[in-house]
Structure 1
Amino acid sequence: MAARKKAANRYYSGPPSDHFDGSLFFNPGGRMPGPFKDLLKWQFSGQRSKWPAASPSPFAQAKPAAAVEGADLVVTMVGHSTLLIQTAGLNILTDPVWSERTSPFSFAGPRRVNPPGIALGDLPAIDLVLVSHNHYDHLDLATLRQLQEKHDPLVVTPLGNDAIIAAAVPGTRLSAHDWGDRVDVSDGTAIHVEPAHHWSARGARDRRMALWAGFVIETPGGKVYFAGDTGFHGGINYRLMAERHGGFRFAILPIGAYEPRWFMAPQHQNPEEAVQGMSLCNAAFAAGCHWGTFQLTDEPFDEPVRKLAEALDGRGIPQERFRALRPGEIWEVPRI
């Protein structure tokens, strides 16, 4: 039988590399998501916990300052993987999602159980947006459209995601990059695009056509690591971050959407792995994200918080160093 023809990549065209085969992106030495039959096995397993229909945050919606200057660092949780990072006079959003659902449909798919921790109209002027990959709970075109109309931020994203955004939000200022690239933003501030162990798709026919990534924000007050969405992958990328960057003042690490492990391990780390990652990348403080807003997987609503506390205690790490942030929660990150 003739060899199966590679799918034409609708988002990106470029030379092969250690994570791009000329058609599709992949995790070097890692694992890809399971086949469709595994997805069906999981979906029909009947193991999904029942989440509350609504779980309001104990924190009121925040009204951030217009800017945070110098080496001060203030982080506000919006929800899921959306955080506002303020430092060195810059306002930075990670994976901004203000939509009610993370889905291609307005009437179906994972729905918010709590409102965003900052009302969209209360955002300060946004300078920079980091989009880690194209899954709907991270790349929300409706939100990007509103941000473009009101703030006109620079959007930094891995290869191929720029094509998706440009088609849906014309006029967006886009900067698309490969792993290992550096983007100078302002005096003393730069963005490094770094590996993550994940995958990408917007539908059934574009799997792995756009790259996924994490980001390191280099600032006068220290480095901030946003891991994006990632499996633990034996800690390989965390060790690489320590080697490349020395250590971090602050890390934003996913702690949710990890069950069942047989299916989710390649793409979503659990709280214990997140704590290991914090140690491996030499982060002084960390915020847990990717939990408690959209039900994507099987674990109970509050399990990530409990498992995070157990993992920290097990490793003798003070609880205040790694916090599972709730929408509206503000953290003035200590200097190191």
Structure 2
Amino acid sequence: MVGKRFFHAFKSCFKGSPTARTMATSAGILVASKTGLPVPEDVKEKKHHLPNGRFANPWPSWQDINRVELGKWAITGYFAGSWPKPEAKAISVVKPQFEESRTGVKELRATWLGHACFLVEFPGGFRALFDPVFCHRCSPVQFMGPARYTKVPCEIEEIPLVDAVVISHAHYDHLDVGSVKRIHAKWPEAHFFVPMNNKKWFKSLGIDNCTEQDWWEDMEITIDLSKGKDAATEGETASTLSATISNFPCQHTAGRTLTDLNSTLWSSWGVTSGGKSVYFAGDTGYRAVPKVEEGEDDYGEKYQDLPYCPAFKQIGDLRGPFDLGMIPIGAYSPRQFMSPMHANPYDSVNIFVDTKCKKAIGMHWGTFVLTNEPIMEPPQKLRDALKAKGIPETGVFDVVATGESKIFTDEA
């Protein structure tokens, strides 16, 4: 009864509001708009929305990519055999260890599950899964396309609990139909949070537990712990668990076919629960760098005036600091093609600083061959970039083994 009274009371708070969005599920989960958090002064201008219904990066740091030249480079490199060939077991893989119950989660813990996929466990028991891709190939089909060279550390069915699934954008290495179906089959009550115009894709799979958000929109998910698997035992007082899910900008593109370029939005995200907050950068660039000579430093004096994406500093100033950042460090070469949409480690460290993350874990490397930098170069360049910025090379912005967990406390 306690849970039922809470659910209807909470729902009634938003009745009749023209701007609030609410969504209840059969498992006792409520998702509602959250207002009052700081946003940029020009947020209502929606400069990233185009008149044709598509989206754009509204900053000088973005430069459109010559897709014909990019295609030629990719095809030539593939048939010439110049793409990196990973050695067997180049990236360490360990079996993840998850808390089986909510009550066992006392501290913030993040587990890297390969590429851009993380499971984050918050104090109090809320759990968010980011960009889950458990397939063999990040491709429209599973008989061709970039293949996983690092095995998955666990299967979806081995994860004990997921409350929210957060998706950065619709590219195949971040949104996989098979993985989404398996997640929904195991946790039909789990709620998906996606950027604008992605909800229809989930509805086509029969998934209604989905909320789409624009940049700088915030939602609150509240879970009634008297329901379903979380039901309190006799004599216990039912309680609730909540989290704030915040959609933020990043610099990228989106699409799943040859005709839907940028018809869906791309995003980075913030999630706050149990007194802890994390920043998930998704897939993003930081600057647009022209073609550079082999071995040339694109952060050298020649390139020091290149504009950088201002969104990250806005995020840090308005919503930081974050206890943990999950920030991409790979898939950045060649720079003339990749820099607008993929950060290299020097960009990554700047994103880390701009967003005011206290600690970070590198992602978007070590799983699929998407570009032509050497497989183990991103971690080395990350150490170099940290040193150049005067940040300790270990213990602040680290890389971990696939499947490895890190705990983040106030003292850590």
TM-score, normalization: structure 2? 0.74
Equivalent in the alignment of 1:332: 407
| One-letter amino acid matched to 1:61 | K
Contact 2:251–2:309 (CA under 8 A) maintained in structure 1:
no
> Is residue 112 from structure 1 mapped to residue 112 from structure 2 by the alignment?
no
Q: 1:134 aligns with which of 151, 170, 194?
A: 170
Equivalent in the alignment of 2:120: 85
- CA displacement at 1:54 relative to structure 2: 3.4
Query: Which sits farther off after the overlay, 145-154 or 15-24?
Result: 15-24
Taking a change above 3 Å as real, the CA distance of residues 16 and 284 of structure 1, as seen in their structure-2 partners, is closer
Gaps of 5+ in 1: 1-14
> Is residue 102 from structure 1 mapped to residue 138 from structure 2 by the alignment?
yes
| One-letter amino acid matched to 1:105 | V
- CA displacement at 1:49 relative to structure 2: 3.7
Separation in 2 of the partners of 1:48 and 1:254?
23
Contact 2:101–2:125 (CA under 8 A) maintained in structure 1:
yes
| One-letter amino acid matched to 2:120 | I
Separation in 2 of the partners of 1:20 and 1:67?
42
Equivalent in the alignment of 1:28: 58
Contact 2:252–2:341 (CA under 8 A) maintained in structure 1:
yes
Separation in 2 of the partners of 1:291 and 1:131?
18
- CA displacement at 1:276 relative to structure 2: 1.3
Equivalent in the alignment of 1:37: 68
Q: Residues 161-310 of structure 1: matches in 2 within 5 Å?
A: 161-167=198-204, 169-186=205-222, 187=241, 189-233=243-287, 234-310=308-384
| One-letter amino acid matched to 2:86 | P
Contact 2:330–2:365 (CA under 8 A) maintained in structure 1:
yes
- CA displacement at 1:57 relative to structure 2: 4.1
Query: Which sits farther off after the overlay, 326-335 or 304-313?
Result: 326-335
| One-letter amino acid matched to 2:196 | L
Separation in 2 of the partners of 1:210 and 1:331?
33
> Is residue 156 from structure 1 mapped to residue 193 from structure 2 by the alignment?
yes
Which deviations, in whole Å up to 9, do the C-alpha atoms of 1:244-274 show, x marking residues without a partner? 1131111000000000000001100000111
Taking a change above 3 Å as real, the CA distance of residues 106 and 192 of structure 1, as seen in their structure-2 partners, is same
Equivalent in the alignment of 1:54: 88
| One-letter amino acid matched to 1:86 | E
Q: Give the paired residue count.
A: 321
Separation in 1 of the partners of 2:94 and 2:208?
31
Query: Which sits farther off after the overlay, 56-65 or 98-107?
Result: 56-65
- CA displacement at 1:53 relative to structure 2: 5.6
Gaps of 5+ in 2: 1-43, 223-240, 288-307
Equivalent in the alignment of 1:75: 110
Describe the SS at the equivalent of 2:180.
helix
Describe the SS at the equivalent of 1:40.
helix
Equivalent in the alignment of 1:5: none
Contact 2:197–2:264 (CA under 8 A) maintained in structure 1:
yes
Separation in 2 of the partners of 1:232 and 1:57?
26
Which deviations, in whole Å up to 9, do the C-alpha atoms of 1:207-236 show, x marking residues without a partner? 000000010012233220001000014141
Equivalent in the alignment of 2:39: none
Equivalent in the alignment of 2:182: 146
Contact 2:126–2:273 (CA under 8 A) maintained in structure 1:
no
Describe the SS at the equivalent of 2:152.
coil
Which deviations, in whole Å up to 9, do the C-alpha atoms of 1:279-330 show, x marking residues without a partner? 1211110010000000101101000011001111222212111112221111
Query: Which sits farther off after the overlay, 260-269 or 319-328?
Result: 319-328
Describe the SS at the equivalent of 2:170.
coil
Query: Which sits farther off after the overlay, 92-101 or 211-220?
Result: 211-220
Separation in 2 of the partners of 1:209 and 1:53?
37
Describe the SS at the equivalent of 1:238.
helix
- CA displacement at 1:16 relative to structure 2: 8.5
Q: Which has the larger radius of gyration?
A: 2
Residue identity over aligned pairs, in percent, reads 31
